[in-house]
């Protein structure tokens, strides 16, 4: 029989191997999706709003101008090599987030699992209801969920309320990044630290004053 220290070592080796596999999978999928994205234009990265590459590499906060993002539109920026999804959610989408039909489909509608900062621990999982700010990495194995905002056009499945569908194994999320029940992804999409500098400028990577939070605090990314 294995001693407790051997069991602990085996267990931690198992977790390490699992983590390595997940990272490898994420890299593979990131590369594959980058190639697909050229054609699909499903992820319009906003280069012009991003700072210099050395700023990104240093992991410094980045400022994003939201003034040109129309209701219903999503933009994607890179922060610490992670895709950050910024969505201007229209009133109709906010209504859907609060509907019992939507809530009944979700695994963690009240965000009980720590996947967001305290200032996004609310029904819209954000600072301002109209602006979603999410890390676009599926909590199953790290694919990039695709944006399908409309309930009535270009829907990936029947009776679609609008949200995200992960192309790898079919996990679904609503427009607040809350994961559906009965899909492989176990947790809601993470929310990064961020702060509004003014009505239309968001700083990714910095909390509002007097709040301490980082992606190291969450259960899974």
Binding site for ligand FES (CB under 6 A): 138, 140-143, 166, 168-171, 184-185
For 38, the 3-state DSSP assignment is helix
- Contact by Cβ (8 Å): 179, 108: yes
87 or 138: whose CB is closer to ligand FES?
Answer: 138
Nearest approach in angstroms of CB 170 to ligand FES is 6
Nearest approach in angstroms of CB 95 to ligand FES is 27
Distance CA 172, CA 164 (A): 6
- Contact by Cβ (8 Å): 84, 77: yes
Nearest approach in angstroms of CB 167 to ligand FES is 8
The CA-atom distances, in angstroms, between 64 and each of 46, 69, 93, 135 are 9, 11, 22, 15
142 or 162: whose CB is closer to ligand FES?
Answer: 142
Residue bearing tokens 């489909």: 105
120 or 138: whose CB is closer to ligand FES?
Answer: 138
29 or 69: whose CB is closer to ligand FES?
Answer: 29
Nearest approach in angstroms of CB 22 to ligand FES is 9
Question: 162-178: buried (b, 16+ CB within 10 Å) or exposed (e) per residue?
Answer: bbbbbbbeebbbbbbbb
Distance CA 191, CA 171 (A): 18
173 or 213: whose CB is closer to ligand FES?
Answer: 173
Nearest approach in angstroms of CB 9 to ligand FES is 29
Nearest approach in angstroms of CB 194 to ligand FES is 23
Backbone dihedral angles phi then psi of residue 92, each to the nearest 5 degrees: -65, -40
29 or 120: whose CB is closer to ligand FES?
Answer: 29
Distance CA 80, CA 165 (A): 23
121: number of Cβ within 10 Å: 14
């Amino acid at each position: 029989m294995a001693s407790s220290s051997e069991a602990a070592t085996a267990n931690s080796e198992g977790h390490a191997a699992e983590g390595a596999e997940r990272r490898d999978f994420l890299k593979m999928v990131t590369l594959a999706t980058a190639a697909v994205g050229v054609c699909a234009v499903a992820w319009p990265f906003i280069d012009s709003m991003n700072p210099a590459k050395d700023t990104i590499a240093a992991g410094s906060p980045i400022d994003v101008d939201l003034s040109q993002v129309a209701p219903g539109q999503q933009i994607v920026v890179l922060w610490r090599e992670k895709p950050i999804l910024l969505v201007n959610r229209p009133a109709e989408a906010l209504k859907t987030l609060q509907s019992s039909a939507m809530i009944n489909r979700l695994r963690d509608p009240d965000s009980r699992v720590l996947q967001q900062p305290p200032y996004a621990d609310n029904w819209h999982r954000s600072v301002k209801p109209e602006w979603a700010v999410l890390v676009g990495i599926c909590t199953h194995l790290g694919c990039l969920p695709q944006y399908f905002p409309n309930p009535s056009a270009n829907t990936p499945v029947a009776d679609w309320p609008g949200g995200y569908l992960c192309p790898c194994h079919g996990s679904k999320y609503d427009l607040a990044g809350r994961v559906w029940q009965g899909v492989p992804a176990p947790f809601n999409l993470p929310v990064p630290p961020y702060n509004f500098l003014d009505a239309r400028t968001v700083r990714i990577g910095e909390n509002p004053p007097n709040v301490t939070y980082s992606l190291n605090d969450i259960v899974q990314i």
